[in-house]
Structure formats: C-alpha cells, structure tokens
Chains A and B, each alone.
Chain A
Amino acid sequence: MNVIRAVGRLWLVPVTLVAWEIVTRAAEQPFFPPPSATLARMGEMWLSGPPAHLLLTEQAMDDFGPSLARLFAGWTLAAVLGVAAGVAIGCSSRLSGYLDPLIHLGRAVPPPLLVPFFLALLKLSTPAQLTTIVFGIIWPILLNTVDGTRTVDRQHLETARIFGFSTVQRLTRVIVPAAMPKIFAGLRLALSLALILLVIAEILAGSGGLGYRLLSAQRSYLYTDMWGCLVVLGLLGYLLNSAFLLLERRVLAWHRNARQTT
C-alpha cells in the first residue's frame, strides 16, 4: 500500500522529464539541451572511468572531491563553533546581552559579498571558501542552539539542581540533549545553505570543484556540461538532505516518540 502511494506521488517526475525532452527536441535551442543529452554528457564526464574506480573518471574526482571536502569541512566547523557558542550564549544572559546585537548584525551581511574580502585577507582560495561557508551557515546553527538552550523545561533544570548535577553533567546530560531538536533543525538548514555557498564561493574564488566546472562550462559555451553540473548539484542537495533526515530520525527518536505519546 505504501509502495503504491509512493509510486503514485512520483509519477509527475517522469511525465515532466518526457515533456521537457519533447519540447527541447522540438525547439532545438542551444541553451536548453534535451535531458537525454544532458544525462549522456553527465555519464561521459563523470561515469565512464575504469571499473576499479567505480566507473568514476578523473574529472569526477577533480570536480566532486574538493567540493565535497569543502562542504563537509565547512559544515562540521560551523556545527562545532555554532553549537559551542550557542550553548555558552544560551546559558549566560550577560553574554547574550553583549553579543545579541553583533549576532544580528553579522547575520544580516550577505555572505557572498565577503568572498572578495576573505580572498584578499587569506590569499588562498580554499581557506577563503571555507571561511565564506562557515560565516554564511553558522547563523541558523547558532541561533537555534541559543533558542534551544534557553527554552529547556524548567522542571528538567530543577531536577538537575535538586540532584546536584555538576556543570558538565548539566550541560551534557540535560541542556544539550534538550536543545537537540532545535540544534538539528539548524544543522539541516545549514547543510542546504552550505551547498549554495559552496557553489558561490567556487564560482567567485574558484580553483576546481563543481562551481568552478559550472563557470568554465558556461564560459566555453558548453551548455550541456553546464546543465550536467546543475542537475548533479540538485541531486547532491537532495541526497544530503535525505541522509541528514535519516540521521536525525535515529538521534531524535526519543523526541518524535515523546511528542506522539503526550
């Protein structure tokens, strides 16, 4: 029954693809290659390598390797910094009084605008790209962590006081777990933001990676290559989000179930 329903929801995907194929073939516009041509080109670019490399070509390594490494490095760094700072700010009203205006100012700066600055400051493209990603995605993590930390149930905290939990226990066993649902919401938002900022950073401060490939394809009038990059970035975003949801479902099983029963 669930399978039928899932298939039922997915029918629009092939219909759209077929319609697109028909329209683009009829129009014969160079800017809009048919999906079949895009797919064929994607296979050629990235999946025609030796079986020992899982069919991945050298170009696939060059395009995906640096991009994925930057994406995860930036996201992990932002997660660690954002959660640590968020818990500290959430627990201390003095700290939050001082930092709140700065946070809201920093959040309001569009991160792509900072790429030239970071590039000038850090000279190398990879540190500049990483800094851009971290600066751009840390805000939802930070703000959600602050919010989650501040809204821990009073009775959870009083129980910790009654039983004399140490500061470390209170943080790791009560406050952070209680804030986890909100922290995860921030982390997921940050993951999709990270992909966007990755591409922007690679376009603006490029030296390899998918964003750089996209830009050079456009400059060389290789529109099918460009479309291939767009499709693969879309797929990447979808896969990352699905993988994260899977993780979230495992880690926050208590939260989902507790909400269902009360």
Chain B
Amino acid sequence: MLEITDLVHSYGSHRVLDGVSIRAAEGELVCVVGPSGCGKSTLLRSVAGLIRPTGGRVLIGGQPVDRIPDNLAVVFQDYSRSLYPWMTAANNVALPLRRRGLDRRRRREAAMAALDQVGLADAAAKYPWEMSGGMQQRVSIARALAYRPSLLLMDEPFGSVDAQTREDLEDLVLRVCAHHGMTTLLITHDIDESVYVGDRVIVLTRSPARVAADLPVDLGESRDQIATRQLDAFVRLRAEVGRLVRGGSPTSTVLEKQ
C-alpha cells in the first residue's frame, strides 16, 4: 500500500533524511518514532506531497507521489491551527467532501456520521473555540474519516493534549482505523504510545534520519490502556524501542523474534 524507498531530503546542505525506507501493508497501523528533531515531520510532509524530497521514491497504492494525492488525509499536531475557527465542527468536516462530488445533504450526512464515530454527534454546531483541545482533535480525526482516504497520516496527533485525553484518543484511533481498514502512518516521539498503538514500530536514528529498526508489535488486535501496558511483551518492547531511540543497537532477543 505504502512504499517509501530510499527517501533522502536536505534543507540546503543540511541533510535531514538519509535513505529512509518504510513499507506499510493495506490496513496496517505503522508508528514512526524517533528523537525530536530527527526529521519525522519532513518524512510525513514528503509522503503527503507537501514537499518534494531531494531523492528517493514514495508510492501510494503503486502510484508515485509527485503532487498531493487525493486519497490521503492528514491529522496535524496543532489542532488549533488545523481546524478553521470561522466554521462549525460539522462544516469543518463537510468542507473537504465537495471534492468527492457529494451534494450538500450527503456532505452533511457524512459529516454527522463521522462526528458520531468520534463521539461528538452533539457538538456538530459548535465552533472549534467552544471545544476543548481533545474535542478539537476528535473533529480533526472525524474530518479525516469522512474524507475516506486510503492512507491516513498523523503527525504527533496527541502531542498537545493532557494524559487522560491522550489515552482516549489513542483508543479512538485504534478503533476507527481498524473499523475502516485504513492504512495509517502515525508519527510520534512518545515511545509508550508507539508500542501501544502500532502494529509495527519503526525507529528512526538521530538526524540525519535512517531506519534503526523495524519492530513488529505482538500484542494482539484488542488493546487495553491498563492490561496491555502490564504485559511482559509490552514492557520488553517499550524498553527496546527506548534503547534504540536513545541511540542503542538492537538486542539479540528482539532480533531473534524477527
């Protein structure tokens, strides 16, 4: 579904991505984790077609990304700048659907259904500034869902909300991505989160970024904020990802599993 091959990007003489290759199968939720400032956002922006990488190739569903693909949605970290404050939640969700050729009534219905999925059916008429940060991020997720992309990109989507909200949003994303069978690339600096949410965790090295490890997450389909985090497999994997993010080399136990 998603094939990133040997992606290289430099800002002037400063190399940010140094040959990053990532693959994601249909319906897979892949977390990309790395130290802050390692080029995670540059990676996401290249996949989204917002910037043209210096080298390498990105294929989405076999199609090369040379401009912004029409089957892709992004959830940004900064929800307060991603939603339009002059529109209600429902209109924010419905606006991109014009491109899908839906008439006004169908757009409205699709927006309401998406808001309902993120638990905000009652907030359709509210403006972003009338909502908490977590609610705004839910609207942002609803906008992406209603758009029905085949690839969903999330750039530190839970980075600006409190811990409790963060856990709720993690579970929400797990639920809706599984429900829609959406291929998802989630970028985060949070080690715990990457293991909890991901089907696979890709660890990037310090800048210039390369793939340090590609770890499968064997925690099963259903996850629970308390029980999953207590599992031995979770604790071991978290420790391993943590070591790699800090610049360590892969340990033999995990390598054997691969």
User: Which residues does A use to contact B, with CB under 8 Å?
Assistant: 153, 155-156, 158-159, 161-166, 169, 173-174, 177-178, 180, 254-255, 257-258, 260-262
Contact = CB atoms under 8 A, between A and B. Distances in A.
B74 A162 contact: yes
Given A162-B74, A164-B99, 9 more contacts: A153-B81, A155-B81, A156-B82, A161-B68, A162-B73, A163-B96, A165-B99, A257-B127, A258-B128
Nearest to B97: A163
B68 A254 contact: no
A180 B82 contact: no
A257 B84 CA distance: 13
Nearest to B140: A159
Contacts of B11: none
A127 to B, nearest CB: 37
Nearest to A154: B81
By size class, the interface of chain B is 20 to 34
B78 A155 contact: yes
Contacts of B48: 162
A250 B96 CA distance: 26
Contacts of B82: 155-156, 159
| A interface SS class | helix
B86 A163 contact: no
B61 to A, nearest CB: 16
Nearest to B72: A162
Given A254-B127, A257-B130, A258-B128, A164 B70 contact: yes
Contact of A174 (B84, B99, B130): B84
B99 A177 contact: no
B98 interface: yes
A169 B91 CA distance: 13
A67 B254 CA distance: 84
A164 B96 CA distance: 7
Given A158-B50, A258-B129, A163 B99 contact: yes
Interface of B: 48, 50, 68, 70, 72-74, 76, 78, 80-82, 84-87, 95-96, 98-99, 127-130, 143, 147
B79 to A, nearest CB: 10
A128 B70 CA distance: 52
A130 B219 CA distance: 75
A168 B74 CA distance: 22
Contacts of B74: 158-159, 162
Given A163-B95, A163-B96, A164-B70, A262 B50 contact: no
B123 to A, nearest CB: 15
Given A163-B73, A164-B68, A254 B85 contact: yes
Contacts of A165: 95-96, 99
Contacts of B98: 166, 169
12 contacts: A159-B76, A162-B48, A162-B68, A162-B74, A164-B68, A164-B99, A165-B95, A166-B99, A173-B84, A174-B84, A255-B85, A258-B129
B136 to A, nearest CB: 10
B194 to A, nearest CB: 23
A258 B147 CA distance: 26
B249 to A, nearest CB: 37
Contacts of A180: 86
Contacts of A258: 85, 127-129
A99 B96 CA distance: 34
Nearest to B132: A261
A178 B74 CA distance: 21
Contacts of B147: 163
Contacts of B50: 158, 161-162
A261 B129 contact: yes
Contacts of B96: 163-165
Contacts of A163: 73, 95-96, 99, 143, 147
B143 to A, nearest CB: 8
A234 B50 CA distance: 53
A77 B98 CA distance: 32
B96 to A, nearest CB: 4
B209 to A, nearest CB: 21
